[in-house]
Amino acid sequence: MVYRLIIVMFFFSVGVFAQDNYIKHKISQGENLSVIAKKYGVKVKDIADANPNAPKILKLNSTLLIPNKNTVKSKNKNAEVAVNNTPSNTSGIHEVASKETLWGISKKYNVSVNDLKKANPLLETEGLKIGQQIVIPTDEAVIKEKQPETSVEVVSTDVELFREVKAKETKYGISKEYGITVAELERQNPSIKGKVPVGYLLKIRIPKEKADAIQASKALQGSNNENAIASSSSPVNATVEAVSEIKRDSTLVRMGTNSELIDQLIANATENIGTRYRSGGTTKAGFDCSGLMICTFNNFDIKLPRSSIEQSRVGTKVSADEAQKGDLIFFRTNGRRHINHVGMIVEVAEGEIKFVHSSTHGGVIISSTKEPYYTRAFSQVNRILN
């Protein structure tokens, strides 16, 4: 009898100990190990150790055992040292979704593409895969900033605007106008995954300060236009001024058209981000580097030669310091003696050139000349549109 009582007490004490040491957590939409660990004040490694058989990709509504915070604190010094040896700049895990790119992920977490590759060496050889979990290297301040925006203060400062799409406008141009990404514009308007139809009413949520600045800028532009019209209506020398105004207008139209054309080219090319690489490909089924340029420029009735080396002989060669949006940028990759890769410049800032291209490893992506691989391989820049 005493022996049975001892056995019962043993299993009871084990059960109580287990309940005290662990908390059961049911996984909700959008949660990952990093988010759950912060919620309970424990480390990702503690949760992983407590759930050795858990799949790498967490399943919705499945259950995880969360170590009690007091139990974690009572670990021996050797275990604490092992945990503390984890790199302090490794602060989160991101699960790759469909059509996501390194460029988009780097913008989302405010880190460079190069830092992402350093934290995830396999990206250089294998590229991104749907469902893959990659390490996001950043400090605690950035992680807090990138947590789901549940703060009442943040929500209260946002305003919702409505914007009608005009002829020849693109998602890229509209998102740039409001200081958001194309991905964010699509997230706020789920029905515009393809081209945006003319007349469509977009819903755009941005901070109130940004909305006020945009409205003020448009008001100022409208005022300037009214003043220009008023000054040209003077009866003095009306014929001469009319001719002069036509010349100024024609010049402005040409400048505006050229600038708009470059934005349209960039928008057209970047809409293919995520499309796979295909040798000889010139369609959305797959592009090679020169094929992406051919398809993009051909959409605006600009014909380019077939190969990257032939394209390098078109237009005007300019220095890297003079590079502008819309220019073609050429490389000699893999130690080649001749040009064998081409992309289109989408942004130039502080000596860094960002360009869209079709990479053999990642398909259509945006890369930077700050990345060591492209720094070494850089050859020249050509201006197609003068």
Active-site residue list:
289, 341, 357
Tokens of 61: 């509504």
Half-sphere exposure of 262 (CA within 13 A, CB side): 18
Specify the pairing of strand 158-164 against strand 133-137: unpaired
By CB neighbour count within 10 A (0-12 exposed, 13-18 middle, 19+ buried), where does 129 fall? exposed
Contact 348, 299 (CB under 8 A): no
Determine the length of the chain.
386
Contact 47, 64 (CB under 8 A): yes
Question: What distance in Å separates the CA atoms of residue 78 and residue 45, rounded to the nearest whole number?
Answer: 15
Ramachandran angles phi, psi of 357, nearest 5° = -160, 170
Contact 26, 60 (CB under 8 A): no
Q: Among all chains, which residue has been given the structure tokens 């990479």?
A: 359
Measured on CA atoms in the order 65, 142, 140, 125, is the torsion positive or negative? positive
Q: Among all chains, which residue has been given the structure tokens 């009572």?
A: 74
DSSP secondary structure, 234-261, as one string: -STTHHHHHHHHHHHHHHHHHHHHHHHH
Measured on CA atoms in the order 97, 102, 104, 107, is the torsion positive or negative? positive
Question: What distance in Å separates the CA atoms of residue 373 and residue 318, rounded to the nearest whole number?
Answer: 21
